[in-house]
Structure 1
Amino acid sequence: MPARRESFGRRESLGDEEKSVSYVGDVTIRERIAHFTWTWFTLTMSTGGISNLINVQPHKFNGQTTIGKTIFIFFIVMLVFNFTMITLRFIMNPGALKSSLSHPTESLFFPCMWLSLAVLLMNIQAFGVPSSGPWLITTLRVLFWIYLACTLTMAVGHYHVLFSAGKHMSIHSMTPSWILPVFPVMLSGSIASSISSSQPYEERLTVIVAGVSCQGLGFLISLIMMALYLGRLMADGLPAPKLRPGMFMAVGPPSFTALALIGMSNNIPQGYAYFAEHPMARDVLQPLALVFSIFIWLFAFFFFGIALVACLQGIKELYWSLICWAFVFPNTGFAIATITIGNQLNSEGIRWVGSIMTILLVAVWLFNLAMQVRAVHNKTMLWPGKDEDRDELRHKKA
């Protein structure tokens, strides 16, 4: 009998490819840990995104800060858990680290670890700085520069590995996940927009300039990737239903660019350095940031619509996997960008759109969380042949 996996609508046969890597019998905890992949960090980056989204809600309610902090604490617990598990995997399986970073599928999710660290810094700014001393402000600035240097190096190195690897990926299999290697350095702009508000003037301008530079790098590379992605869709049609949640990743770059530009423009140090010599520059840059953010907001909505329709069309064949966390993280940026634009325009209608998006995203986050626990319990995750290492298992069985 072919292997079967739980879908959203019914149980689905996985076909010959998955049947060839099916595994019979029990496995030990050690063997299950061996299948803990970088994709698990999609859980933490989505959870951190939700706590950040709750923090920026325009319609305040009792317990809002408490709920945001609770989710933030849960995010930290899960982040420590992920680091512990992935470290145990590499310690118990020599060579697994190198294999994971060169694997054509799993390696694309290595940046999710860095994205989790990015939302960690943004949440520390949101929940930690208001109740801490100036030491935390300095610490965040130091961590920002370390993060920027590491992610920029990682982006160049990661793409170099993908370009020079012996097993090249075909343009016909292109998905928005190809953007992920540059996504972490792009989020340096989002971090800068968050932490720059509390930085002293003598440090703030350099943080903002670095943030704008990194945001531009990530957004421009994502535009190139999106051109390839649309060409792939036109030539080969939609991806397989199980991969369609990943289409929401295309929503992220324009969304995070919009919220980052508005945030950084609002935090420009008036009367300092360049802006002391050009006092009108701040008044010009803020409307420009808002206009450009509105300009690319619909770009994000377009890819949101494409992904949503594609997923609804294939929902009967869509089964839950870690890629379904793409329903959450890119769209948290989309919701925050919507709220930010609404605040700038002082539009209550746009703010309510952002609040409704928040409610829906929290519901999806809770659903995903329950499905992940269920998948681990039902042995459709952390199990031989079920994770991103199925090609390695097939090779061993051969």
Structure 2
Amino acid sequence: MQANETYPATWSPEETPRNSRQFYSDVELQHAEKKEPLQDLPLSPRHDNHLPHTHHSDGGDQPWRRHKLTLRQRLQHFTWAWFTLSMSTGGISLLLFALPFQFPGLRVIGWIFYVLNVVMFTCICAAMMLRFMFHKGTFAASLKHEREGFFFPTFWLSIATLITSTQRYVIQPHDTNLLWGIQTAFWGYGICTFILAVGQYCFVFSAHNFGLGTMMPTWILPIFPIMLTGTIASVIAETQPEIGRVPILVAGLTCQGLGLSVAFMMYAHMVGRLMSAGLPNREHRPGLFMCVGPPAFTVLALIGMAHSLPDNLAVDNNIVDARDIRTIALLVGGFLWALSLWWFFIAAISVLLSRPRYFHLGWWAMVFPNTGFCLATVSAAKQFDNQGLKILGTVMSAGVFIMYFVVLQAQIKAVWRQDILYPGRDEDFNDH
């Protein structure tokens, strides 16, 4: 926690009794009640990056010592980051559809995850609406907050997984009306996410003042949804009529290029932060897996869009045709795949060096970006028709599938124990 940091308006000290020390120290609570800024206060156990993985000696961190809140009070801390659950579930459904080694019943499992994602997305939207209805002013505060605001794009990422998985599991090539519907959804999504990418970064540039040492991977999130426009294009273009296919591919390529370019600029800041300030707090190191996503989803988009090109397409008097473009896409894909691999090991080793003790919704970064990494591996394996790559993609997918349930059970336990949906423990509180 930095000096001169004030508590967000969404938290009220009355919600936590003064004898509750599971997260706040006594000094922190005193300053919060007086609405005074913190001046280099001693950090509570959760903030200590080097604290051994043991409970606080006085037992104050035990769940049964925490003040019980009502559902309405806990909904005040239901943040945009909950959409990471939805987008990860949607990513799993897409991964199951794309696996190179299919067996009877696998598509049914994928369909279950697709339906589950629809239900989750609906429930999370309903919970967010209840939060904004019960607690006036939290909608604007959530978008402006220096930490939670960066998770607003996860809402759009969830929509991206819904569009792509609907194409995979629902729409058939002969369903003309549905094809036009998905095309309309594509263009609407592209426009909205472009506005998000411009608008949110303009707001951040003008309203916040972040130091390089505070850089977190979540800074990439506002550009992520527009980048997935390319991924959506790679999925839906093949079934679209040729008259509408090429404009979709051109738009997808443009948006993918924009997203990757901004991500590269963010990578420069991320590496600078790691070199100058070291690794993030152990509680937030799983977020480093977000850096795996941009190059991985670009590989997936480039290969998919090149494969969706009409075979009779000719560019510049037949000097370059669809086959040449597909070859170039594979070459560029291999180049970017290695970058995802590098970020994956950086993130994995960082987490293993100091495993997080408390659950954060940022743990879902260990699932969704790696889902894109697996999809990119499987897509390249199919284009190369390489058995070894197919096996590697399958093994990677199995690991992500297992990680999904590891994070899911941790989230359920955290909700039950009041490790999240509790004052000072969610993304509406800046603890890094």
TM-score (norm. length: structure 2): 0.84
Find out whether 1:179 has 2:198 as its counterpart: no
Mapped to 1, the partners of 2:385 and 2:224 lie a distance apart of: 30
What residue ranges of structure 2 are gaps of 5+ in the alignment? 1-19, 24-44, 47-51
Match of 2:130 in 1: 88
Find out whether 1:259 has 2:300 as its counterpart: yes
Question: In structure 1, the residue corresponding to 2:257 is in which secondary structure?
Answer: helix
Residue 319 of structure 1 deviates from its aligned partner by 2.6
User: Considering only CA atoms, is the larger Rg found in Structure 1 or Structure 2?
Assistant: 2
Contact 2:173 2:239 in 1 (8 A): no
Match of 1:290 in 2: 330
Find out whether 1:369 has 2:408 as its counterpart: yes
Letter matched to residue 301 of structure 1: L
Residue 33 of structure 1 deviates from its aligned partner by 1.1
Find out whether 1:125 has 2:167 as its counterpart: yes
Mapped to 2, the partners of 1:153 and 1:390 lie a distance apart of: 26
Mapped to 2, the partners of 1:186 and 1:135 lie a distance apart of: 26
Structure 1 pair 131–199 and aligned structure 2 pair: CA distance change class (3 A): closer
Find out whether 1:28 has 2:70 as its counterpart: yes
Choose from 248, 252, 259 the match for 1:211.
Answer: 252
Choose from 219, 228, 232 the match for 1:191.
Answer: 232
Q: How does 1:131-210 map to 2 (within 5 A)?
A: 133-165=175-207, 167-210=208-251
Residue 280 of structure 1 deviates from its aligned partner by 4.1
Mapped to 2, the partners of 1:114 and 1:77 lie a distance apart of: 16
Residue 29 of structure 1 deviates from its aligned partner by 1.2
Contact 1:218 1:253 in 2 (8 A): yes
Choose from 22, 33, 41 the match for 1:3.
Answer: 22
Mapped to 1, the partners of 2:277 and 2:136 lie a distance apart of: 39
Residue 307 of structure 1 deviates from its aligned partner by 0.3
Structure 1 pair 66–279 and aligned structure 2 pair: CA distance change class (3 A): farther
Q: Which moved more, 1:169-178 or 1:124-133?
A: 124-133
Question: In structure 2, the residue corresponding to 1:58 is in which secondary structure?
Answer: coil
Q: How does 1:330-345 map to 2 (within 5 A)?
A: 330-345=369-384
Contact 2:190 2:226 in 1 (8 A): yes
Letter matched to residue 347 of structure 1: N
Choose from 83, 89, 94 the match for 1:47.
Answer: 89
Equivalenced residues, count? 382
Mapped to 2, the partners of 1:276 and 1:63 lie a distance apart of: 46
Mapped to 1, the partners of 2:151 and 2:430 lie a distance apart of: 16
Contact 1:51 1:72 in 2 (8 A): yes
Determine what percentage of the aligned residue pairs are the same residue. 38
Match of 1:395 in 2: none
Question: In structure 1, the residue corresponding to 2:209 is in which secondary structure?
Answer: coil
Match of 2:346 in 1: 306
Mapped to 1, the partners of 2:55 and 2:345 lie a distance apart of: 26
Contact 2:382 2:390 in 1 (8 A): yes
Question: In structure 1, the residue corresponding to 2:395 is in which secondary structure?
Answer: helix
Contact 1:177 1:246 in 2 (8 A): yes
Contact 2:147 2:429 in 1 (8 A): no
Letter matched to residue 146 of structure 2: P
Choose from 326, 329, 350 the match for 2:365.
Answer: 326
Match of 2:262 in 1: 221
Find out whether 1:75 has 2:117 as its counterpart: yes
Choose from 259, 270, 281 the match for 1:240.
Answer: 281
Question: In structure 1, the residue corresponding to 2:359 is in which secondary structure?
Answer: coil
TM-score (norm. length: structure 1): 0.91
Contact 1:178 1:225 in 2 (8 A): yes
Mapped to 2, the partners of 1:227 and 1:390 lie a distance apart of: 26
CA RMSD of aligned residues (A): 2.2
